[in-house]
Amino acid sequence: MAKPQSTSKKSVIVPANYVPGDDEKFMNDRMREYFRRRLLNWKEEISAQTRDTVEYLQGERVNHPDPTDVATYNADRQLELRTKDRLRKLVRKIDKALVRIEDGSYGYCEETGDPISPRRLDARPIATLSLEAQEMHERGERMRAG
């Protein structure tokens, strides 16, 4: 099991075409900076979506005389609110991942302590389990549910 190292505050240059690979030292400065930026950009995109949703909900003050229109409006509003709640939870997970980047534990499986593959992290930057641990976790859930 590799021991996480805390991150340093030095400036790291990450080329625009950089993609983390299995052939480089795991969670080197460049890889760590790549994921930090990826998470920050994702968080900003979500914040923009949330602002748009709030503006939409605040601006949508139409009086609907038809009960069907009222029902449709309320269903749309509930969907927007559920989506906003999911995004809020996702931002919390992104914030936790950013903390893990700072303390040096980002990219390591919470159950095994092994590195999570850079490809998995690239696909799901908030992942906390390796693919193998995630699959074991899901098999256990299916067995308990079935």
pLDDT, tens digit, for every residue of 101-119? 999 999 999 999 999 999 9
- Pairwise CA distance, residues 137 & 126, whole Å: 16
Q: Is the pLDDT of residue 129 over 90?
A: yes
Q: For domain 26-106, which CATH number applies: 2.40.50.1070, 1.10.230.10, 1.10.4010.10, 1.20.120.910?
A: 1.20.120.910
Check whether 7 has a pLDDT greater than 50: no
Global pTM value: 0.78
In tens, the pLDDT along 35-48 reads 999 999 999 999 98
Residue intervals in the chain for CATH 1.20.120.910: 26-106
Burial letters 17-44, b for 16+ CB under 10 A, else e? eeebeeeeebbeebbbbbbbebbeebbe
